[in-house]
Amino acid sequence: MTTSATSGIYSQLNELFQDAANLSKSDKIWDLYRKAETISGLDFLLKIKGLRSTVLNQDAITSLKWLNHKIKTLNKFDLDTIKGIFFIVGLVSNHSDFWSSLRSDGDKLPKQLVDCSKIILGNFSSVIHFEFNTSYHEEKRKEYLIKIVSDNDWSKIYDEYHRSHENFEHSICYSLKSAFTLLYYFDEKSLMSILDVKRDIPFIWGMMALMGKSKAMTIALGTTNQTLKFCAIASVLPFSGRDSLSEFESDNLTKVFLNIMEDEKLWQHWMRILNTYPSRYPHIQLSLGKALAQTTSENTIQSYFKAVDLYAVDFHDIGRKSVSECLESFSQLANEEKQKLTWDLAFRIWDSWDFGVKDSHLFEIKASALDYAITRYYLDCCDSERRKVLIEELCGKLNNIDNIWHQTSSKHTTYWYLHHSKFQPLQHAEEVSRNTNLPCLMQGIFYQHNYGKYENYIQYMID
């Protein structure tokens, strides 16, 4: 590249920078974006932003050199000037990637730049808009949100904020993105001090999403700041559940789960978040299963099962499949003793639940989210003779249905379908013991007992 070409790019960038520094006096930010697209090199960086392993052209390299030099030689440190720098940073790169790259290169930043970043963050707070008919209800809502954050009630915090998580990252302005990531890489202690005071959930959650899954998990493992840890994990586990994880990210997530398990109360919060409806998070199940296999705490495993919201489901239920994937992953790593303990814990919860018939009715054969664990209980904790006895007991209850008093016809029908539903994982365990190629989670079939000469009569009574 000729000296004149470089000089021309530098001149255009200096002009753009001056305009960016004056943004506080103007609302023409979109004019600046259009102007940036006309500068050779910067236009290329704008096109490839967010892409990995892209070879830069010479003009793009020149633009980056200009920005690095501008930062190192900056001699004016008012907030408008710093925000102008941050605007250019947001054009050339993801804010986190840019400041991380400078840190990796061993570059030192002017102290005043760090100080201005602290001021920018310190002066900010998220504004949440509520649509209530009265100011009284609006204030009550605000007080509630403040209280659950103050109480570290993470499951309630997640429940309040997760539906809007996709908006958090995009609602953060460029100066806050740069100020946060700059402090994270160059003055983490000051950043933590600010976050300890502010505890701004939407902002921190959005920043963790901006930094990406791998960095967010690294932060979750390394920080003692509970708000930052929560937001880092939450950004990796979006409510939509549609984001897949790489093998590296999945392994890191296992480490994150093991880290959370060290705090029993925190683990219970995350189990309420993730395991009440496991169908929402199919992409975490392998990591979660590996972590459960490595824990030495029975309470940790018990919290996992207790968090599952048990209700009668169809055999093709997605949550049922998600739990089975987690427990299959668990069974591949856990020793035999731990597996039996786990299946026994699950069985006790399932047996006590009893398909919820105490407060409702059953009018068809149903399954449960714990079916994989229940089948494994009958396989691993009961021998063939014990299974045979249990099958005979269940069938005896079904054959004897009309010799028991039922308050209503609905309870009569419920009795039938309850015991037939309980029969499914038991009979399936017996089938798996005969054919080990069968999966432990039965899908697409159900088992019907042969009642011989009573078959037509029983079916008539039920229908």
Is residue 91 pLDDT above 70, yes or no?
yes
When pLDDT is averaged across residues 151-156 and rounded to a whole number, the result is 95
Alpha helices in 354-383 (DSSP H): 371-380
- Whole-angstrom distance, CA of residue 67 vs CA of residue 62: 9
When pLDDT is averaged across residues 158-185 and rounded to a whole number, the result is 91
When pLDDT is averaged across residues 94-116 and rounded to a whole number, the result is 89
Report the chain's mean pLDDT, rounded to a whole number. Answer: 88
- What is the per-residue pLDDT across 321-371, written as a single tens digit (0 to 9) for each? 999 999 999 999 999 999 999 999 999 999 999 998 787 888 889 999 999
Render 398-446 in DSSP notation, one character per residue. HHTGGGS--SSHHHHHHHHHHHHHHHHHHHHHHHHHH-TTS-SS--S--
- Whole-angstrom distance, CA of residue 375 vs CA of residue 398: 20
- Whole-angstrom distance, CA of residue 173 vs CA of residue 171: 6
When pLDDT is averaged across residues 163-189 and rounded to a whole number, the result is 91
What do you get for the CA distance between the two ends of the chain, in Å?
Answer: 86
Query: Which residue, among 186, 245, 174, 189, has the nearest Cα to 216 in the 3D structure?
Result: 245
Q: What is the DSSP letter of 367?
A: B
Please count the helices (runs of H) and the strands (runs of E) in the chain.
25, 0
Query: Which residue, among 38, 203, 53, 45, has the nearest Cα to 124 in the 3D structure?
Result: 203
pLDDT of residue 454: 46
When pLDDT is averaged across residues 38-58 and rounded to a whole number, the result is 83
What's the token pair of residue 249? 């990210």
Mark residue 367 as left, alpha or beta (left: phi above 0; alpha: psi -120 to 50; beta: remaining). Answer: beta
- What is the per-residue pLDDT across 390-408, written as a single tens digit (0 to 9) for each? 998 888 887 777 667 666 7
pLDDT of residue 352: 95
- Beta partners for 367? 313
Give the alpha-carbon dihedral of 392, 398, 402, 406, to 10 degrees.
Answer: 120
Give residue 98's pLDDT band: very low, low, confident or very high (50, 70, 90). very high
What's the token pair of residue 275? 């395991």
Give residue 458's pLDDT band: very low, low, confident or very high (50, 70, 90). low
Is residue 264 pLDDT above 80, yes or no?
yes
SS3 313: strand
Binning the chain into helix, strand and coil, the percentages to the nearest 5 are: 70, 0, 25
- Whole-angstrom distance, CA of residue 126 vs CA of residue 122: 12
Mark residue 368 as left, alpha or beta (left: phi above 0; alpha: psi -120 to 50; beta: remaining). Answer: beta
Residue 240 and residue 196 in contact, taking contact as beta carbons nearer than 8 Å: no
Is residue 441 pLDDT above 80, yes or no?
yes
